[in-house]
Amino acid sequence: MRPKYLILTIAGYLLLPCLYGGLFLNSFIPYHLPGKQFLVWYLVHMASGHLLLYLVNSNTSVNVSKLSLAFLGITLLISLSRMCQGLYHHKPILYLCLLTGLNTVLLFLWNRKRGFFTG
């Protein structure tokens, strides 16, 4: 994959959920959102990431394994930082842990040689 397409895809992975948060949840920055709104933002983050992986996989001849690993790193960084924030403020983080685990498994499935939707 060309570096400019990789950068555009990763930018879309980060900016689409932030745009959703700014338009519907009143904050472009996910760390300013309360718990339930952050979980909704995180679901949009997951869905946009998998949609971008599907579009790259179906419309180009690019292997999406490196892209899914980049998405995995970004996702784990966002999740772990928000979990630390929740633990610091004595808030429950179980749902975020479950969503992070689910997203990690799905991104590892994308990392397979043939991709998740192609069998």
Cα(68)–Cα(52) distance, rounded to whole angstroms? 10
pLDDT-based confidence at residue 116 (cuts at 50, 70, 90):
very low
Yes or no: say if 50 and 104 are a contact pair by the CB < 8 Å rule. Answer: no
**13 with 48: CB under 8 angstroms?**
yes
- Nearest alpha-carbon partner for 74 in 66, 98, 2: 66
Please enumerate in sequence order all residues whose Cβ is within 8 A of that of 91, keeping only pairs 6 or more positions apart, or say none. 35
- pLDDT for 1-16, tens place per residue? 566 777 777 788 888 8
Mean pLDDT of 106-119: 63
- 37 versus 10: the higher-pLDDT residue is 37
Q: Is the pLDDT of residue 70 over 60?
A: yes
